[in-house]
Amino acid sequence: MNKKRILVVDDHLVVREGLKLIFETEEDYEVVGEAENGEKALILIEQLELDVILMDLSMPKMNGIEVIKALNKKNNLVPIIILTTFNEDNLIKEGLSLGAKGYLLKDTTREGLIRTVESAIRGETLLQPEISKSIFSFKKETKQSNNPFNTAITERELFILQAIARGCTSKAIAFDMGISERTVKAHLTNIYSKLKVDSRSEAVAVAIEQGIIHIEK
C-alpha cells in the first residue's frame, strides 16, 4: 500500500516533531518533508511528490498566506490544511478564501488530525474537527444594513452555512434536516451563487466577513 505523503510547514520545531510522531504511528501516512518557513516550503513542494500540506500561517521570511498565493499562481493542486491558533482569525479567513481545505488547531487530537487530512486528500473541505467545535458560532444579524445578504439567504440556507462551518458533510446535513442529500447540494449551489463563491471554504469565509457566521473570541 502506498502511503500518503505529507509536508509539514511550521516555524516551531516542537510542532513539527509532534506531528511527525503522530504520523509515524499511522500505517497510511508518512511525513516526507518539513520546513520552518515559507521559502523552504516552496522549494520542497517543487521537489517532492505530495498528497497534502500542513501549513502554519505565521512564519518568518514568507508566511503561509504568501505560500498559498504563490502555489495558486502555479496552479499547484496539492491540498493545504492550515495549522493555526485561536488568535489568527483574519488569517484563517484569508487562507480559506484562497482555497485551503480546512484548518487545525495546534493542540488538536490525533483523531481530529487524521480526519482532517483524510478529508483534504479526498478533495473535501473540513473546517472543524470535533475539538474546535466552539470556534464557529451562528449569528443572524437583525439589521439588514449590517449584512447585505440577509434578504437573500433563507433560514434553511443559514442552517446549512452553520453546518458546513462545523465541518459537516452533505450527508450529515441531509440527515439532520430530514431532506435528501441532493436537496442539500441544491441549497449549496444557491448559497454559492448568492455569496458569489465557488466552494464551501469560500462560502464560510465570506459568511464570516459579512457577519452571517462569527468566530468566537
Torsion of the alpha carbons at 116, 86, 140 and 193, rounded to the nearest 10: -50
- Which pLDDT tens digit goes with each residue over 71-86? 988 888 899 998 877 6
Q: What are 130's three cell numbers?
A: 470535533
Q: Is the pLDDT of residue 103 over 90?
A: no
Tell me: pLDDT of 44 over 90: yes
In terms of pLDDT, which residue wins out, 98 or 55? 55
Rounded to two decimals, the pTM is 0.65
How crowded is residue 149: how many other Cβ atoms within 10 Å of its Cβ? 20
| 110-135 pLDDT tens trace | 888 888 888 888 877 666 543 334 34
Instruction: Find out whether 52 and 6 touch, Cβ atoms under 8 Å.
Output: yes
**In this structure, are residues 66 and 40 in contact, taking their beta carbons and an 8 Å threshold?**
no
What pLDDT was estimated at residue 55?
93
- The whole-chain average pLDDT of the chain stands at 80
- Compute how many other C-beta atoms are within 10 angstroms of the C-beta atom of residue 159: 14
Three-state DSSP at 183 gives: helix
Domains of the chain: 4-132 (3.40.50.2300), 136-215 (1.10.10.10)
Q: What is the pLDDT of residues 167-207, one digit of tens each?
A: 788 888 898 889 998 999 999 999 988 888 888 877 887 88
Q: What is the pLDDT of residue 66?
A: 93
